[in-house]
Chains A and B, each alone.
Chain A
Amino acid sequence: MATLLQVKNLTKSFGSVIANNNISFEVNAGEIVALLGENGAGKSTLVKSVFGLLRPDQGEIYIDGKQMAPGDTAAVIASGVGMVHQHFQLVPVMSVTENIILGDEPKDGIFISIKKAEKKVRALSEKFGLAVDPTANIEDLPVGMQQRVEILKALSKDVRLLIFDEPTAVLTPQETDELILVIKNLAQLGVGVIVITHKLREVMALADRVVVLRDGKVVGTTTPKQSDEAGLAQMMVGRNVVLEVSKGAANPGQPVLSVKGLEVFDDRKLLAVKGVDLQVRSGEILGIAGVEGNGQRELVEAICGMRVRAKGEVLVGGMGTKDMHPHAVHEAGLSHIPEDREKHGLVSSYSIADNLILNRFDQQPFARGWFRNMSAIKKNADLLVKKFDIRTTSPAALASALSGGNKQKVVIARELSQDLQVLVAAQPTRGVDVGSIEFIHKQLIAARDGGAGVLLVSAELDEIISLSDRIAVMSGGIIVATIDNKNADRDYLGRLMAGLSA
């Protein structure tokens, strides 16, 4: 096999932080290499250096044996490297075709030939079996389809090495399975593939070779055949990780959260939640499984008071919460781990200490009259940072300086550090590394065992199955079935999620 990419002794630091420390690896034609590592291990930095988006401090990058000048993206693209970015590099108001041809536009005289361009897009989409509508606008497409455009954009430039940066972070399980097939297909066509991920199941399903990074260094190279999920997790985290969640039997009591006949509109003013009834009892976890975009987000937002309810009612601890403001719903006893922690969970420009009291800043002991009680805030922060294992240099550091997993720990620490009746956790482990996932799962179970009713919404079916006591499946804006976890079965749930009557 021909060596496509060779990275030799690459080092890159940001200030005093060494993101990549003397890294060497290579990729052959037709090979799928997974770069595995926790958040902050230096995976993204590494591929950005390869792609010329960052300038490494030291080290050499060879493509087809030819050394690349550092930081020259155009040259890297010209030598046949494409990248599918984690945050899609697509212009939302432009069409699929315009996005794909950007930077390499087919011309008719001095003008762009949209006809030629659309023909090119159609040909590409046929060649790789990725169906898209060339005239559709990006902003009208679902996330999975946008990623398809992003892949086609990368493939449009005669690509021989394709880099995927966390490609499944935003995908549903079905879309993930599809993507795995697409990547395998590409490798069969001779394309070398680098996949960055921290999801072990995908690595096992996908990779020919796994390069594991930890703290900016390569800690090992292996293959899925030689290793298993537990072994990979251990390499990645540097210690033993319990992947299975161990929990005792639930001890459900009175209903603490009741939703009756709830109807909610989405941002486009379409009915997204079409009459949902559910009950969460104290001391149990009710999981809501479903393909994303079936009304879960709107359901959660309506329950927490962040979205207007068109019809129906939500009772927290038996108390109606009609027209209540999110803060009032919180006072009524409901804590919320929001789906989008950057937008709704944290203020990135505030310190960790301030983020830890965001919902209680005006209450004793954090406020005394009109003034903030700095010593109480600091004491609280020191305590929670320790208890929830938030990895930071200081509680006074800005939240924006934390990794994804640690940001999530801040949100969870804040929401769980008080008496709570109901906890609504939406996608609590999204974009979080394995070590933190384990910790977060333990905290959710601890909240349950402490007598709270937990409503867990997650796109990860495995997470739902391993944590929930009861599972409600949501599809098309309604709860299609609620089953006891003893009867849970991936296939059966998958069919319900897809909207098929089981």
Chain B
Amino acid sequence: MVGVVTKMTKSVMRSKKTIYLYLVILAIAIAYTINSVSTVAVAASSITFGLPLAMAAMVGIMCERTGVVNIGIEGTLLTSSFFGFFVAALSQNLIWGLIAAIASGAATGLLLALLTVSWKMDQIIAGTIVNILATGLTSFFYKQGYSLPAIFPRWSIPGLAEIPFLGRVLFQSGPITYFGLIFILVLYFAIYHTPWGLRTRAIGEHPSSADTSGISVLRIKYTNVVIAGAFGGLTGAYLTLELVGSFDRGFSAGKGFTALAIMIFGRWNPIGALLAAVFFGFAQALANQLMIDGLVNIPGPFINMLPYVLTIVVLAFSAGKVRGPAAAGQPYEREKA
């Protein structure tokens, strides 16, 4: 009985999702017919603006799925873009910068794991520590006057890059973009279809059930939080070494917090978060384009406000309705006696 109902709901959901997909495609097609240049530009910028948010949201998903609330994503982004930029600038080599960004991101993950998993510190405070440490370190050691030799070049994928619309939007991007998108897809399958994913989700929901099944809760938590940190490092590298090419104090500009909203909006599902992030990116890209085309005249600060306003709106509407991993935020301790 329950099974039948679930199946029916699922098929309705599936058809609903398909309808939304068709509507989006239809809207893009209409816009493309009316003004192909602007449409391509908006779509491409949606990905550009959305990708770092999506990638940062993956950090949050990997951590919360294992029961660790990570509000230190902002710190991870800031630290890794700092190290990515300065190592690349000093060595005049982007690859060293990339490695430094990933390593420093992983280090913030390791710090968070140490504080929350081993020392069982309050996870919000631990995340705040990561953030404050990142702000302090990167401001203190920041020096003006350095520059990168170049940024990561765009790679056109032969064949695919020639597809109208999609080619320009998706297949003429930088290496980190490709890797990030692939990682998000892989993470999706890994979470829902591999033993690692099942164990991870079990730990995020009910850690003692994993522990009593002979799974090392500690090891999986550590692994996931550190890998998430490394991926956050890659996100930082994307920002400095592929997208912007420079670094400033407070460079991450709240993206790590917006990512948490996106994680919730996407219901802790990598694909959901990717779509949510592209939606955030789209809102910003659209506003930018409307201004460039002279169709509307919105003062710049209001456009820059958009991600934060959207974050508030999304959280206001989804709060209380979505259910995250049940054990997120609680340190795991074996019951005594």
Tell me whether A and B are bound partners. Answer: yes
Give chain A's interface residues, CB within 8 Å of chain B. 14, 19, 44-45, 51, 53-54, 73-74, 76-78, 83, 85, 87, 89-94, 98-99, 101-105, 107, 110-112, 133, 135-137, 140, 153
**Minimum CB–CB distance for B57 against chain A, Å:** 21
Find out whether the CB atom of A102 lies under 8 angstroms from the CB atom of B215. yes
Find out whether the CB atom of B214 lies under 8 angstroms from the CB atom of A112. no
Residues of A within 8 A of B210 (CB): 102-103
Find out whether the CB atom of A99 lies under 8 angstroms from the CB atom of B2. no
A53–B332 Cα distance when bound, in Å, is 13
Query: Taking A45-B337, A135-B3 as contacts, is the C-beta distance between A91 and B205 under 8 angstroms?
Result: yes
* Partner of A105 from B6, B195, B208, B336 at Cβ < 8 Å: B195
Find out whether the CB atom of B337 lies under 8 angstroms from the CB atom of A112. no
Query: Taking A91-B209, A94-B201 as contacts, is the C-beta distance between A111 and B193 under 8 angstroms?
Result: yes
Residues of B within 8 A of A19 (CB): 337
Complex A-B: 16 CB contacts under 8 Å? A51-B212, A53-B211, A74-B214, A76-B214, A77-B214, A78-B214, A87-B208, A89-B212, A89-B213, A91-B205, A93-B205, A102-B213, A103-B199, A104-B213, A105-B198, A112-B195
Find out whether the CB atom of B2 lies under 8 angstroms from the CB atom of A91. no
Find out whether the CB atom of A112 lies under 8 angstroms from the CB atom of B198. yes
* Partner of A73 from B199, B214, B323 at Cβ < 8 Å: B214
Residues of B within 8 A of A153 (CB): 213
A368–B213 Cα distance when bound, in Å, is 54
Query: Taking A102-B215, A135-B3 as contacts, is the C-beta distance between A111 and B189 under 8 angstroms?
Result: yes
Taken residue by residue from 300 to 334, chain B's Cβ proximity to chain A (1 for < 8 Å, 0 otherwise) reads as 00000000000000000000000100100000001
How many residues of chain B have a CB within 8 Å of chain A? 27
Residues of A within 8 A of B168 (CB): none
Find out whether the CB atom of B214 lies under 8 angstroms from the CB atom of A91. no
Residues of B within 8 A of A140 (CB): 2
Find out whether the CB atom of A92 lies under 8 angstroms from the CB atom of B334. no
**Minimum CB–CB distance for B155 against chain A, Å:** 28
Find out whether the CB atom of B213 lies under 8 angstroms from the CB atom of A103. yes
Known: A74-B214, A102-B215. 7 other contacts (CB 8 A): A74-B216, A89-B208, A91-B202, A98-B198, A101-B198, A102-B209, A103-B214
B11 at the interface (CB under 8 A from A): no
B18 at the interface (CB under 8 A from A): no
Residues of A within 8 A of B199 (CB): 102-103
A118–B94 Cα distance when bound, in Å, is 49
Interface class of chain B by DSSP: helix
A285–B214 Cα distance when bound, in Å, is 49
Residues of A within 8 A of B202 (CB): 91, 94, 102
**Minimum CB–CB distance for A117 against chain B, Å:** 10
A78–B210 Cα distance when bound, in Å, is 15
Residues of B within 8 A of A137 (CB): 2, 6
**Minimum CB–CB distance for B333 against chain A, Å:** 12
Nearest residue (CB) in A for B213 is A103
A105–B190 Cα distance when bound, in Å, is 14
Closest 10 CB pairs of A and B: A103-B213, A74-B214, A89-B209, A105-B195, A77-B214, A89-B212, A91-B206, A111-B193, A91-B205, A102-B213
Residues of A within 8 A of B195 (CB): 105, 107, 112
Find out whether the CB atom of B208 lies under 8 angstroms from the CB atom of A92. no
Nearest residue (CB) in A for B216 is A74
Find out whether the CB atom of B212 lies under 8 angstroms from the CB atom of A83. yes
* Partner of B206 from A14, A73, A89, A112 at Cβ < 8 Å: A89
Query: Taking A90-B206, A102-B202, A110-B194 as contacts, is the C-beta distance between A73 and B2 under 8 angstroms?
Result: no
**Minimum CB–CB distance for B10 against chain A, Å:** 11
Residues of B within 8 A of A101 (CB): 198
A316–B3 Cα distance when bound, in Å, is 45
Find out whether the CB atom of A90 lies under 8 angstroms from the CB atom of B209. yes
Contact residues of B between 179 and 226, Cβ < 8 Å to A: 189, 193-195, 198-199, 201-202, 205-206, 208-216
* Partner of B337 from A44, A94, A110, A133 at Cβ < 8 Å: A44
Find out whether the CB atom of B214 lies under 8 angstroms from the CB atom of A99. no
A140–B201 Cα distance when bound, in Å, is 18
Residues of B within 8 A of A94 (CB): 198, 201-202, 205
Find out whether the CB atom of A92 lies under 8 angstroms from the CB atom of B3. no
Residues of A within 8 A of B212 (CB): 51, 53, 73, 83, 85, 89
Among A44, A90, A103, find the residue whose CB has the most chain B CB atoms closer than 10 A: A103
Find out whether the CB atom of A92 lies under 8 angstroms from the CB atom of B326. yes
Residues of B within 8 A of A83 (CB): 212
**Minimum CB–CB distance for B114 against chain A, Å:** 22
Query: Taking A94-B201, A103-B210, A136-B2 as contacts, is the C-beta distance between A14 and B337 under 8 angstroms?
Result: yes
Nearest residue (CB) in A for B334 is A53
**Minimum CB–CB distance for B191 against chain A, Å:** 11
A33–B77 Cα distance when bound, in Å, is 57
**Minimum CB–CB distance for B297 against chain A, Å:** 49
Nearest residue (CB) in A for B3 is A135
A368–B181 Cα distance when bound, in Å, is 66
Query: Taking A102-B213, A136-B2 as contacts, is the C-beta distance between A92 and B194 under 8 angstroms?
Result: no
Residues of B within 8 A of A53 (CB): 211-212, 334
Residues of B within 8 A of A73 (CB): 211-212, 214
A99–B202 Cα distance when bound, in Å, is 9
**Minimum CB–CB distance for B125 against chain A, Å:** 20
A90–B210 Cα distance when bound, in Å, is 9
Residues of B within 8 A of A91 (CB): 201-202, 205-206, 209
Find out whether the CB atom of B189 lies under 8 angstroms from the CB atom of A133. no
**Minimum CB–CB distance for B4 against chain A, Å:** 10
**Minimum CB–CB distance for B208 against chain A, Å:** 6
* Partner of B209 from A76, A99, A104, A133 at Cβ < 8 Å: A99
A73–B214 Cα distance when bound, in Å, is 5
**Minimum CB–CB distance for A271 against chain B, Å:** 19
Find out whether the CB atom of A136 lies under 8 angstroms from the CB atom of B3. yes
Find out whether the CB atom of A92 lies under 8 angstroms from the CB atom of B214. no
Residues of A within 8 A of B194 (CB): 110-112
Among B206, B208, B209, B326, find the residue whose CB has the most chain A CB atoms closer than 10 A: B209
**Minimum CB–CB distance for B224 against chain A, Å:** 16
**Minimum CB–CB distance for B210 against chain A, Å:** 7
**Minimum CB–CB distance for B177 against chain A, Å:** 25
Find out whether the CB atom of B336 lies under 8 angstroms from the CB atom of A14. yes
Residues of B within 8 A of A44 (CB): 337
Residues of B within 8 A of A104 (CB): 213
Query: Taking A91-B209, A102-B210 as contacts, is the C-beta distance between A112 and B215 under 8 angstroms?
Result: no
Nearest residue (CB) in B for A100 is B213
Find out whether the CB atom of B215 lies under 8 angstroms from the CB atom of A54. no
**Minimum CB–CB distance for A412 against chain B, Å:** 23
Residues of A within 8 A of B337 (CB): 14, 19, 44-45
Query: Taking A94-B202, A111-B193, A112-B193 as contacts, is the C-beta distance between A77 and B209 under 8 angstroms?
Result: no
Residues of B within 8 A of A74 (CB): 214-216
Residues of A within 8 A of B6 (CB): 135, 137
**Minimum CB–CB distance for A236 against chain B, Å:** 18
**Minimum CB–CB distance for B15 against chain A, Å:** 21
**Minimum CB–CB distance for A440 against chain B, Å:** 23
Residues of B within 8 A of A85 (CB): 212
**Minimum CB–CB distance for B337 against chain A, Å:** 5
A38–B39 Cα distance when bound, in Å, is 74
Residues of A within 8 A of B206 (CB): 89-92
A59–B193 Cα distance when bound, in Å, is 42
**Minimum CB–CB distance for B82 against chain A, Å:** 36
